[in-house]
Every structure is written in C-alpha cells, then in structure tokens.
Amino acid sequence: MINSWIQLSLLVPGVTSTGAAHDPRLQLAFSIDRPSQGSSITPDGRIFLQLTTFDGSTGPGLVERKSNGSPTPYPNKHWNSWSDGMDPSTAFVSVAAQRIGPDGQLWVIDNGYLGDAVILEGVKVVTFNLTTNQVTRIYPFGNLTHSDSLLDDIRFNGRVAYFTDAGAAAIIALDLATGHGRRLLENQPSTYGYMPTSGEGYLMRNSTGGFNFIHADQLEVSPDGQYLHFQTTAGGMSVIPTKYLNAALYDHSIPDDEVAKHVKPFAATLCSGSTATDARGNIYISDTNRLDILKIAPNGTTSVFLHDPRLVWIDGMWLDGQKRLWLPAAQFNRAPEWHNGTNLIQKPIRIYTIDVEEGPAAIDHV
C-alpha cells in the first residue's frame, strides 16, 4: 500500500497533505451515520439521500432527511426491505442513485446488485410523484443490462435519458415515453475503465490484491441538450453530440462502432466520484486523489474550484436552486474492502455545501 501511495503521488502532483488548511467557503450542512453516494434537494427544501453499505452498515437504501434530522425510509419501509423471495420489481434490491428530474419527480436507479450477483428482474428505474409519494412508473432494465452490469447514473435530455453501465461498459439511451432503449458505446475506450480507481493517493486493491475497475460512471448533458459528457471513474472525460446517440436509439441499423466514431476527448480528468452541471454548462467534478472540486468550462478548460482535505471521495453532488453545490464526503476509498477488512471510514459522514455562481440547468432538474 505504501508503494502505491508513493507511485501515485509522484504521478499526481499536489496529492493532499493531511495538514492542508480548510477552505472557509465550505460549509457543513449536516452529518449522518452511514455513507451517502447521492443527494438531491427539492426547490422547497426536501432532502433525499442514497445510503450505501460499503462500511458494513445495514438499513434503507433511500431516505428522506426530515426537518428534525432523522432519516426516514422513502417512500416507505417496504420499498427498502427487499429480501430473497420477494418480488424484485416492487422493492429496492440495491439503490445505486437517485435524483430529482426536470419533471419534478424523484428518479431512483436500482442496479439489482447483491454483492456477488445481479438480479436482472430487479434492475429498474422507479419514478415517484413527490406530492403523493406514490410510484408513477417503473422502467424495467433487465433486457438492457447483463449479468455483470451495474446500472449507475442518469441524466435527462427531453424525451430521452442516458444511463451509465459501470459494470458492463456502456451508455444506455432510453425513450422515456415508450421505454424503448439501446446499449451504445459498449466496451469502447471511452466507457471501459482501463485504469483502476484510486483515492487519497493510492490505487484501490481488494483483499486478494486485485485492482478495482469501474467503467462508465459520471455523465452530464449540456444545458442545450446538444452534448453528452461522460467518463469512467478513473477518467478522462469524453464528449459526443447527443444527436448520434439519439439517432442510434431509434435506428438499430446504425452500428455501435459508427456511433463511437463521434466520441472525442473533452477533459484530462482523473479519478472522480461525482459531477454536476450548472446553467452555463460548467461541469463540477470531484478529484478523489487531490481532494479537489474541479470546474470544467464548456470549452474543456479545467481549473481548481475548491481544495479541502475534508473532501474525501465526494460522491453524488447536487446543485440546488439557491446556487449551492452539495458535497457528500462518502469516503468510499476508506471502506474495509480496500484495506484488508479494516474500516478506515471516519464517522460521522459529513455533507457539505459551497456557494457557486449559477444554479442548475433546466434540462437537468428543477
């Protein structure tokens, strides 16, 4: 592990020192007991969190944080209590992501992953009306995913939504009206993770010494809907005009290799846990090694927006209507899986905010 630290810190100048100063712009919003890899906030202040179990904890995968600070299973306990033998289409097997869409609904991705296998019948996207807290639609993804798939995240572009498959490398395009979808850019250099994940300066290895590879992960649609930016967890970021993805979604005679010809490099990003886009098309992206938040301009120019030693594996960022960027410090790289069973996660888990210049793009969420 020491060798990995030395090697990566030499390759990545500016790896964070534990003695680095705190940035006063970074504000603590609240703390929680379990790691969160996804936050979203409604215009009226409701807070939803995806909670994960990589720290060894158990409990609901999706909660609403009430005004008294208590996390309440959302929409109810049943949806968060799936067990073997239950219908996987009526409960969350494994919540991978959640976000409020441009329609004001809560969109929840269930990747059906149990730790050693994927239940394809459980891979789905569920939408909830936040006024009634009732299910409005379930999109089954079993026919769009594989046994090694990890449906990961979603972004919107009018009638079409795009998803990343972090397990079986691909971008999935879906017609939200019909439910028709297609896997695109499968196992392409832009979606396949050739470099392992890393955090705080070291390459992440499991108990057998194997590296951790995560394929297509972060994605963002430009405010005008013309471009999709995406990357594997380890980077770098690519871009493709959405017209080529949309054309291939509706015309299966277009070969996937033809679509891939339109992918171009966009930014020289490294390992990241999350991205968010503002109304001007700036992309904020976390850097899990330097403990930075980078800001990528629409032309691909990258600058350091924020550096702070508390930004340990920022995941599931959210930009709200008050021009605040929410930053859950998930500490994924400190999980027992990467340290021979030793849990290095420091609790409580902290959710931070920082003011930015622009609010969210209307194409992404309200």
Q: Is residue 224 part of a domain?
A: yes
**Mean pLDDT, rounded, of the chain:** 94
State the pairing for strand pair 95-100/151-157: unpaired
d(CA 31, CA 27): 12
The average pLDDT across 139-160 equals 97
- Which ranges in 234-319 belong to alpha helices (H)? 242-250, 256-260
d(CA 122, CA 61): 14
Q: Is residue 223 part of a domain?
A: yes
Identify the CA nearest to 168 among candidates 238, 100, 112: 112
Q: Quick: pLDDT tens for 11-30.
A: 443 334 455 799 999 999 99
Q: Are 35 and 61 in contact (CB under 8 A)?
A: no
260 C-beta neighbours (distance < 10 Å), count: 18
Tokens of 194: 């050739």
Helix (H, G, I), strand (E, B) or coil at 136: strand
Q: Has residue 10 got a pLDDT over 60?
A: no
In CATH, what number is assigned to the domain containing residue 308? 2.120.10.30
200's enclosing H/E stretch is none
Q: Are 204 and 211 in contact (CB under 8 A)?
A: yes
Give the pLDDT score at 16: 40
Helix (H, G, I), strand (E, B) or coil at 306: strand
Q: Is residue 189 part of a domain?
A: yes
% of the chain exceeding 70 in pLDDT: 95
Domain count, the chain: 1
The average pLDDT across 317-333 equals 98
Per-residue pLDDT band at 116 (split at 50, 70, 90) = confident
Q: Has residue 196 got a pLDDT over 80?
A: yes
Supply the DSSP string of 64-80, one letter for each residue.
Answer: EE-TTS-EEESS-TGGG
Per-residue pLDDT band at 6 (split at 50, 70, 90) = very low
Give the pLDDT score at 8: 44
Domain span including residue 89 = 2-355
Q: Is 273 exposed, middle or buried (0-12, 13-18, 19+ CB in 10 A)?
A: buried
Q: Is residue 321 part of a domain?
A: yes
Tokens of 87: 């219908």
Q: Is residue 279 part of a domain?
A: yes
Give the pLDDT score at 13: 36
For Cα atoms 34, 115, 65, give the angle at the middle one, nearest 5 degrees: 25
Q: Is residue 365 part of a domain?
A: no
Q: Is residue 170 part of a domain?
A: yes
